Chain A
Amino acid sequence: MKPPEYPGAVAPERRTKISSAGLCLAVYEWGDPAGAPLVLCHGMFDHARAFDLLAPLLAERFRVVGFDARGHGESDWADAYLWPADVADVATVLEWVGRPAHLVGHSRGGGLATDAAARAPALVRQLVNIDGFGPPENGSGGPPHFDPDPPPLPERLGAYLDRRRRAAKLDHWRPHPSLDALVERRHVQNPRLTREWLRYLAYHAARETEAGWVWKADPSAGRAFGPWRPEWIAPLWRHLQAPLLAVVGSEPDTWGPLPEPLLRERLAYVSDVRRASVPGVGHFVHMEAPIPTAQLILEFLEP
């Protein structure tokens, strides 16, 4: 199948693979290789090609580097997943880039980018987080699947262990008869995104096998269990040295934005933060409105 086209989407100009903790990560670049670097971190079950609309706009001024997170896109699957390991991968990419870089992350990628910038400040110049400020507190509302009243911890650990026992069976996505079947599934979860864009996105998020179309991402990616709680997200951000641009969309969406008081509470830990809101869009700010998003980012970032 010929890759679908989409107005404004530009494929990366260069691709390579790098090693992180024994895993191979796929890396993509747009723009002048000698330019000031800018690293992009995608969200959960997305991939670097989700930035094909934003990256070319940023590449007018920067060497833009995107990568597929472990368990996503063309990067290797790991045997297990943990947030700190993903943060370390961001640092690995930054170190590979070779000089301090701007860092732009969306959703889970925004959270990872922020943690990486807090933990490895020497690697990061400025930081942009697009709607990636963590999940809401338990019980205060969230995406439809988010359990507002979770069962007791021992029961939840038991459920995690049950899934681990079935891991071999759960490791694989059900094949779909066509790319459009995958598009329909994504559209149910993300009704604000057009089917035309989702087709572009799904084409790079999936591969065609003999059995049908399957997602490339590892179904176990992000499925860890532990004592972590949402109150632990923001205090780390006290250590941020890079100025932060916090971007959200104005419209409610399947994921986010956080209730304003909670967002303000978390951003209060950041000494140098600027807020921006893109009107008329939901969680996927840079996909729904790449041009205004790029404008905000380019105004914020030093050359």
Chain B
Amino acid sequence: MAPLRHGRVSLALHRLREGEGTPLLLLHGLRGSSADWQGAAAEWPGPVLALDFSGHGGSGWVRGGAYSPELLVGDADAALAQAGPLAVAGAGLGAWVALLLAGARSEGVRAALLLPGPGLCGGGALPDFDSEVALPPPDPEPLARGWDPAVAVLEEDVRPVDYAAAMAAASQRLLFVEAGSEPPPWWQAARQAPSAELPAADLATALPRLEAFIPSGGCDLVIRLVEVPGCAAVAGAQAGLR
């Protein structure tokens, strides 16, 4: 496990597989962790890395609780700084982070694969000024969990379509795995970008295309899709492919 820092927080970056070639960085969803990629038996030609975002898994918590997707992009960027040019795959919130990273670091991120998962929608495309304005109550002393309760704010961040479109347009290459239900507006906007591949119906068609942009041989990737309560619900499925 490589020690990594982003600002004042210590991050856990797990090396799931060794390899020679372009690294693949895996970004989990909201309230998830690198452990969600268990069984993601990646015969990726290069190293496979899985990051625990701030406030999740083995990474440190942000003192004061001010989590934002852009902060998590900084976490992923710290991994990019350490690992060098890479491909990234993110699920749910991790997909949003992957898109932002791919847009901001277009040189370093060779391709980004976006998958459904927890925290996929955020707070919608625009702030809702008519309802939901009350401040959330402070979280009571939490039982031991795998995440900082304050990460709940990451259910509410706004993801405007022009923001998503701008990041997508700047990305080198984007691939999408869609589960059949209506994806959120930011995802649909990103799909319009010139760099976006037509959505893949399943991983079987997505992965060879991701791998095709990385100069190396064949690859397998098994990713467990998870339920996203409330929004664009994705049926839990074990997707395996060869």
A residues engaging B (CB < 8 A)?
21-23, 70, 76-82, 84-85, 87-88, 91-92, 116, 118-120, 152-155, 157-158, 160-161, 164-165, 167-168, 171, 220, 224-228, 232, 235-236, 238-239
Contacts and interface: CB of A to CB of B under 8 A. Distances in A.
B64 A70 contact: yes
12 contacts: A22-B64, A79-B7, A82-B66, A87-B135, A153-B167, A157-B73, A157-B103, A161-B77, A164-B77, A167-B8, A226-B68, A227-B163
B191 interface: no
B64 A154 contact: no
Going nearest first, the 7 A-B pairs with the smallest beta carbon separation are A78-B64, A154-B170, A157-B104, A82-B66, A235-B129, A164-B74, A85-B66
Interface stretch (B45-53, B83-91, B150-158, B211-219): B150-158
Nearest to B163: A227
| Max chain A Cβ within 10 angstroms of own Cβ: one of B9, B64, B167 | B64
Given A85-B66, A157-B167, A168-B7, A80 B71 contact: yes
A157 B168 CA distance: 13
Contact of A119 (B63, B127, B135): B135
Given A154-B166, A164-B74, A238-B129, A227 B160 contact: yes
A212 to B, nearest CB: 23
A236 B133 contact: yes
Given A21-B150, A239-B133, A79 B64 contact: yes
B64 A225 contact: no
Interface in B55-83: 61-71, 73-74, 77-78, 81
Given A158-B105, A160-B104, 11 more contacts: A21-B138, A76-B63, A79-B63, A80-B62, A152-B170, A154-B166, A154-B170, A160-B70, A226-B157, A227-B159, A236-B129
Contacts of B106: 154
B65 A85 contact: yes
Contacts of B65: 21-22, 85
Nearest to A225: B70
A164 B6 contact: yes
Given A161-B77, A164-B77, A80 B64 contact: yes
A34 B73 CA distance: 48
B15 interface: no
A79 B63 CA distance: 5
Interface of B: 5-9, 61-71, 73-74, 77-78, 81, 100, 103-106, 127, 129-130, 133-135, 138, 150, 153, 157-160, 163, 166-167, 169-170
Given A80-B7, A161-B77, A152 B166 contact: yes
A91 to B, nearest CB: 5
Contacts of B69: 226
A21 B157 contact: no
A79 B9 contact: yes
Contact of B5 (A168, A235, A239): A168
Contacts of B73: 157, 161
Given A88-B135, A167-B7, A224-B70, A23 B159 contact: no
A232 B134 contact: no
B26 to A, nearest CB: 19
Nearest to B126: A232
Contacts of B71: 80, 224
